[in-house]
Amino acid sequence: MKLNDFPVWNDLARSPAFGITVTVSSYLAGRAIQKASGGSSLANPVLIAILLVAGFLNITGTSYQIYYESTQLLIFLLGPATVAFAIPLIKNIEHVRGRLWTILLALTAGSSLSAVVGVGLVLMCGGSRAVAFSMAPKAVTTPIAINIAQATGGIPSLSAALAITGGILVAISINWIFNLAGIRDARTYGFSAGTAGSGIGAAHALSFCELAGAFGALAVGINGLVTPLIVLALARIWPV
Amino acid sequence: MIGEMLNRLGWLPLPGPVIGMVVLVFLLWWKPRTLSKPLEATSRHLLDWLGLLFVPAGVGVISNLDVLRAQWVPILVGLVGSTLVSLVATAYLMQKLPHPNPDEARDNQP
């Protein structure tokens, strides 16, 4: 017998308290696990929280739709949180001066490659066009990725999931890659994390240091303008 | 009042949050004194908890399990391949292209 056999459960699950309680406690558990593992980047709190919530919904038989509706407040806060990246950015603005072209070029290359390689690899491995265009906008911040996927025939919820998993992948792999390449520049660290891993990448960079966070924020901001153009151009080359 | 301003910027139409961020950057650039303590504290709290805000959308994978099951190879290869290529290419260009004073922010990394 599952919890959703009881009518009272479905009423309870619809209240905002439900989704937020489940999400916050899973995220706190994720943070605790990361701390217990000695700050390992493999124990990413977002990833752990997603798995815990998914498991909980599955065990209780609660549909994703019900959960999603009860977490509207958290989803709304993504907007102001993106705006909030302006603060670390402006506090480190003097580091941007003089290297504007480097930044624009590195970002355009990084985000175009993300979209083109993403679409190319999906098709090469026999994926459908819908999956390819859910992959294409994943380097941009999640809310924008959803909108681009919608406009180009991708699957919006898959696009959101890919944007988040891509960000988690960046957070997990970046220390390893940078150590391997011997790069020790906080600006490069933050900017690459923000370009390839959007919001989660930038948040990871910010947890590293404020300068890295500022460059992550910068990358997310410019990417929000560049990636839509690239993906819409790709979709025009290859219409539905 | 500043907090409310922050909120209202988040309300702009698509890509609203990014427009909001750009507007706030220019505002703070133009009038640095607008950067008040409450605004800074609010933004720091929001960013500290940013990961939490991605969880609800991330749980959305469970509504795509059928697509994932049918096409997991192209999805996995595409995701890992494109993310790593993008990360490495951006880092490479940031390092190789000319910098005005390349030594100033070194050794900030563990």
Each residue's pLDDT tens digit, B10-50: 444 445 666 667 777 777 777 766 666 677 777 777 777 77
Q: Which of A106, A117, A199 sits opposite B90 (nearest CB)?
A: A106
**CB atoms B93 and A95 under 8 Å:** no
d(CA B83, CA B76): 11
ipTM given for this complex? 0.80
Q: Flag whether pLDDT at B107 surpasses 70.
A: no
**CB atoms A78 and B17 under 8 Å:** yes
Please check whether residue B41 touches A, CB under 8 A: no
Confidence of residue A90 (pLDDT cuts 50, 70, 90): confident
Q: Which of B61, B62, B91 sits opposite A188 (nearest CB)?
A: B91
The pair of three-digit structure tokens given for residue A87, joined into one six-digit string: 């603060």
Answer with the residue of higher pLDDT: B34 or A215: A215
Q: Which of A65, A84, A110 sits opposite B86 (nearest CB)?
A: A110
d(CA B1, CA A66): 34
Please check whether residue B13 touches A, CB under 8 A: no
Residue-level pLDDT at A121: 92
Using CB atoms and an 8 Å cut-off, which of residues 191-220 of chain A contact chain B? 191-193, 195-197, 199-200, 203, 206, 208-209, 211-213, 217, 219-220
Q: Which of B15, B24, B42 sits opposite A144 (nearest CB)?
A: B15
Residue-level pLDDT at A32: 87
From B107's Cα to the closest Cα of chain A, the distance in A is 6
Each residue's pLDDT tens digit, A38-48: 767 677 888 88
Q: Flag whether pLDDT at A225 surpasses 50.
A: yes
Q: Flag whether pLDDT at B102 surpasses 50.
A: no
Please check whether residue B86 touches A, CB under 8 A: yes
Residue A15's alpha-carbon distances to A4, A24, A69, A73, B56, in angstroms, are 15, 15, 9, 11, 15
**CB atoms A125 and B9 under 8 Å:** no
pTM metric for this prediction = 0.78
Mean pLDDT of chain A: 83
Residue-level pLDDT at A170: 92
Residue-level pLDDT at B15: 55
Q: Which of B49, B59, B94 sits opposite A187 (nearest CB)?
A: B94
- Of the ranges A77-91, A193-207, B71-85, which one carries the lowest mean pLDDT score? A77-91
Q: Flag whether pLDDT at A240 surpasses 70.
A: no
Contacts of B28 in chain A (CB under 8 A): 86-87, 90
Confidence of residue A68 (pLDDT cuts 50, 70, 90): confident
CB-based contacts of B18: which residues, under 8 Å, 6+ apart? A82, A141, A144, A220, A221, A224, A225
- Of the ranges A156-170, A174-188, B2-16, which one carries the lowest mean pLDDT score? B2-16
d(CA A145, CA B82): 15
Please check whether residue B40 touches A, CB under 8 A: yes
Residue-level pLDDT at B51: 79
pLDDT above 70 covers a percentage of chain B that reads 63
B93-98: long-range pairs with CB below 8 Å, 24+: B93/A102, B93/A105, B93/A106, B93/A109, B93/A110, B94/A102, B94/A103, B94/A106, B94/A185, B94/A187, B94/A188, B94/A191, B94/A192, B95/A183, B95/A185, B95/A188, B97/A99, B97/A101, B97/A102, B97/A105, B97/A106, B98/A99, B98/A102
